[in-house]
């Protein structure tokens, strides 16, 4: 399906089918059991495709402002090359809207874990000269509120929701010397399942806008993906990545393991909140 979508996008992005949007709207309404509508999109007037192409990934929280950025490197390279990285700086403060007011404000250090290492990851900060609030730039290999790298969390989610294992089987699949613990993996799976409906709906709306002929949008088609939300998000993330790759040439080499960082990067910019 991944290849099919890419082929269609290459053949011409005018793959919009008459009535495709209405069909998807009905489907989302059904699968979300009334909990989700197209209104989940925060930018009713703004084309999310355009935002993604422009690298838009801004999110204003009630307490802290965080930008998620893709540095196109591993955590090891990020740590080693931190001084040479170029950090995205919003044109205007995301709190007060003052243009050109953000100046460098050092960094803070947070832990990032995989099964064997603890990385000390520096997180770049900007500060607004007008309102004095700070904006952090979070690399897309990290989630908010989770110590483990997204790559490790992804392994657990794939084991649980794509390979169909139990939490314990996911633990055996991911853990090295007992870490991460079964309880931690259980919390990841539970949280992902709780948020999956919103993310699934949002990706589906985007695909309907940019690739309405995608088989992922036909709930009755033979190539349709899974119908439970957590599995469907993992499935749809591949289509999302395929589309992003058509828009961002630098991401041509991105593959299966990059789908959740790409999803997180995109979805955070759409205001979707927590992924896991």
Footprint of Zn ion (CB under 5 A): 93, 95-96, 98, 128, 130-131
In angstroms, the CA 213 to CA 94 distance is 36
Q: Write down the least CB distance from residue 135 to Zn ion, Å.
A: 9
Q: Which is closer to Zn ion, CB of 41 or CB of 87?
A: 87
The rounded Cα 82 to chain-centroid distance in angstroms is: 22
The contacts of residue 202 (CB under 8 Å, 6+ apart) are 40, 41, 267, 270, 272
By beta-carbon proximity to Zn ion, the closer residue of 128 and 189 is: 128
Rounded to whole angstroms, the Cα distance separating 134 from 116 reads: 32
Cα–Cα nearest to 91, from 55, 45, 118: 55
Nearer to Zn ion, 96 or 103 (CB): 96
**Helix, strand or coil, per DSSP, at residue 256:** helix
Cβ of residue 43: shortest distance to Zn ion, in angstroms? Answer: 21
Task: Give me the least distance between CB of 138 and Zn ion, in Å please.
Answer: 19
Both structure tokens of 213 = 């002929």
Q: How far is the CB of 269 from Zn ion (least distance, A)?
A: 19
Buried-state track 41-68, b at ≥16 Cβ within 10 A, e below 16: beeeeeebbebbeeebbbbeeeeebbbb
Nearer of residues 92 and 251 to Zn ion, judged by Cβ: 92
* Cβ-based nearer residue to Zn ion, 81 or 98: 98
Please say which residue, 73 or 130, places its beta carbon nearer to Zn ion.
130
What minimum distance in Å lies between the beta carbon of 132 and Zn ion?
7
**Taking the complex as a whole, how short is the minimal distance between the CB of residue 109 and Zn ion, in angstroms?**
24
Sheet strand arrangement including 134-139: 58-60, 65-69, 134-139, 118-128, 102-113
What gap in Å lies between CA 146 and CA 262, rounded to an integer?
A: 17
């Amino acid at each position: 399906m991944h290849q099919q979508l890419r082929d269609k996008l290459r053949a011409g992005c005018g793959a919009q089918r008459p009535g495709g949007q209405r069909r998807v709207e009905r489907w989302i309404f059904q699968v979300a059991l009334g909990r989700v509508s197209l209104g989940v999109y925060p930018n009713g007037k703004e084309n999310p495709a355009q935002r993604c192409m422009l690298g838009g990934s801004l999110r204003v929280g009630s307490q802290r402002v965080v930008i998620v950025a893709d540095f196109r490197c591993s955590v090891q390279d990020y740590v080693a090359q931190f001084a040479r990285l170029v950090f995205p700086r919003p044109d205007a403060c995301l709190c007060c809207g003052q243009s050109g007011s953000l100046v460098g404000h050092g960094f803070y250090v947070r832990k990032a874990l995989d099964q064997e290492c603890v990385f000390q990851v520096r997180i770049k900060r900007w500060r607004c000269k007008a309102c004095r609030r700070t904006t952090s730039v979070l690399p897309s290999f990290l989630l908010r509120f989770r110590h483990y790298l997204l790559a490790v969390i992804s392994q657990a989610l794939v084991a649980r929701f794509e390979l169909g294992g139990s939490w314990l089987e996911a633990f055996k699949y991911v853990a090295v010397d007992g870490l991460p613990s079964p309880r931690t993996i259980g919390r990841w799976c539970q949280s992902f399942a709780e948020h999956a409906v919103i993310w699934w709906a949002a990706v589906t709306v985007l695909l309907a806008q940019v690739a309405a002929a995608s088989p992922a949008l036909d709930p009755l088609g033979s190539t349709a993906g899974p119908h439970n939300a957590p599995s469907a998000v993992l499935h749809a993330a591949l289509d999302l990545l395929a589309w992003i790759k058509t828009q961002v040439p630098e991401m041509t080499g991105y593959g299966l393991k990059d789908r959740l960082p790409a999803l997180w990067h995109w979805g955070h910019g759409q205001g979707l909140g927590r992924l896991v």
